[in-house]
Amino acid sequence: MSRIDYSVWDHIEVSDDEDDTHPNIDTPSLFRWRHQARVERMEEFEKKGEDMKKSLIECRRRLKEAQKKVQEMSTSTTDDAKAELSKAQAEEKKLKKEEREWEKKMEEHTREEKKMPWNVDTLSKDGFSKSIVNVKPETVEESEEEKEQKHKTFVEKYEKQIKHFGMLRRWDDSQKYLSDNPYLVCEETANYLVIMCIDLEVEEKHALMEQVAHQTIVMQFILELAKSLKVDPRGCFRQFFAKIKTADQQYQDAFNDELESFKERVRSRAKIRIEKAMKEYEDEERQKRLGPGGLDPVEVYETLPPEMQKCFDEKNIQMLQDVISKMDPTEAKTHMKRCIDSGLWVPNSKTEEGDEKEEDVTYEELEQPEYSEY
């Protein structure tokens, strides 16, 4: 599986116990203090927002009363009424200005809230969706055989849906499809998409591989987020899409870097698979070529002297006899023995009565040969 670059999630405050501490520090107490401090900051921020909201409501109530008072006094014509009307109008103007100030403060507070980093106390709350984030119970580690069987069963059941997800392009389409098919948010889907990418690259369907690779990284980011939060991935995939769709350029670049890195690994794996397949094919072909003595005629041919190679190229027995007659007998015997063991040279070893005779591999055996096609 792909290795995710966790740096893209550095600004998400997901845990209080991730950092190493000095041996002399009471680590559990430090972690509790960190969590308590963060919770207090959050409560203070929320209280500030509630206070501003109450002040805005109170301001609007007073403004409504002032406007009603101005409307009532506008019908009077006495000097005292006009003086009161002027004061009421001034109060109305003041309250309108105050209302705009409170509205501006509320907008700034909302913007500040959106910029705040996610953490385990906010990210795992059920907010804008119906997803319930549940802590995954401790489970017994599965064996490799169990994992393989689980993967096989899952793929047999949902292969069509996994492939459909792999072909999606838009964030919204991916989120909607996972919302309709939440069972796809799992390790088995990610594993199948990785294999699918390698298969497509081997088949030289490069553009399609890059498309599926994008969806593979999407799934793996969701799984890594769930792992970091120790929650079921089906409960946090919406948070991932909410974040990625509003990410700044730096965050998007980090996602793209991981995607490019993954595609390079896919190309490398595909190349290895192709080389392995070619080697297996060559080995099979070599096994088919092996002669009666277990030697490869191609390899034997390449070790022959050039003048002997020429004899086999032209299938000229007389030329071969002439070449061997000029060679050292021991060397000639060695070369001819290798040619026979590889099937490159097939002598006629039967007597006229049909009985086989023992062969002494010398140049004299060249009188009744058969050439082997190699």
Over the stretch 238-251, which tens digit does the pLDDT of each residue have?
888 888 888 667 76
Residue recorded with tokens 């026979």 = 340
Alpha-carbon distance values, 333 to 133, 308, 338 (Å): 81, 13, 9
Are residues 242 and 297 both part of a single domain? no
- Please tell me the distance from the alpha carbon of residue 80 to that of residue 86, in angstroms, as a whole number: 10
> Quick one: average pLDDT of 182-204?
91
Where does the pLDDT of residue 209 fall: very low under 50, low under 70, confident under 90, or very high at 90 and above?
A: very high
Decide if 350 is inside a domain. Answer: no
The counts of H helices and E strands in the chain are 12, 2
Decide if 77 is inside a domain. Answer: yes
Decide if 257 is inside a domain. Answer: no
Q: What is the pLDDT of residue 177?
A: 93
Q: Which domain holds residue 322?
A: 291-342
Number of residues written out for the chain: 374
pLDDT digits (tens, 9 = 90+) for 158-179: 999 999 999 998 999 999 999 9
Query: Higher confidence at residue 279 or residue 8?
Result: 279
- Please tell me the distance from the alpha carbon of residue 291 to that of residue 340, in angstroms, as a whole number: 8
Are residues 162 and 101 both part of a single domain? no
Are residues 155 and 230 both part of a single domain? yes
Are residues 235 and 155 both part of a single domain? yes
Residue 83 phi, psi (nearest 5): -65, -40
Decide if 186 is inside a domain. Answer: yes
- DSSP letters of 107-123? HHHHHHHHHSPPBTTTT
Per-residue pLDDT at 21 exceeds 80: no
- Please tell me the distance from the alpha carbon of residue 124 to that of residue 121, in angstroms, as a whole number: 6
Residue 198 phi, psi (nearest 5): -65, -40
CATH number (domain holding residue 226):
1.20.58.610
Q: What is the pLDDT of residue 374?
A: 46
pLDDT digits (tens, 9 = 90+) for 95-149: 888 989 988 888 888 888 777 665 555 555 554 555 555 555 556 677 778 878 8
Decide if 43 is inside a domain. Answer: yes
- Please tell me the distance from the alpha carbon of residue 24 to that of residue 67, in angstroms, as a whole number: 66
Decide if 65 is inside a domain. Answer: yes
Q: Which residues of 310-336 are buried (b: 16+ CB within 10 A; e: fewer)?
A: ebbeeeeeebbbebbeebeeeebbebb
> Quick one: average pLDDT of 202-231?
90
Q: What is the pLDDT of residue 13?
A: 55
Per-residue pLDDT at 282 exceeds 80: no
Decide if 153 is inside a domain. Answer: yes
Q: What is the pLDDT of residue 370?
A: 45
Amino acid at 33: W
Are residues 108 and 165 both part of a single domain? no
- Please tell me the distance from the alpha carbon of residue 166 to that of residue 208, in angstroms, as a whole number: 9
Token digits of residue 254: 């980090």
pLDDT digits (tens, 9 = 90+) for 318-349: 888 888 888 888 888 888 888 888 887 777 64
Across the chain, mean pLDDT equals 77
Decide if 101 is inside a domain. Answer: yes
Are residues 236 and 156 both part of a single domain? yes
Are residues 109 and 163 both part of a single domain? no
What total number of domains does the chain contain?
Answer: 3
> Quick one: average pLDDT of 296-319?
86
Give, to the nearest 10 degrees, the angle between helix 317-325 and helix 329-342.
Answer: 140
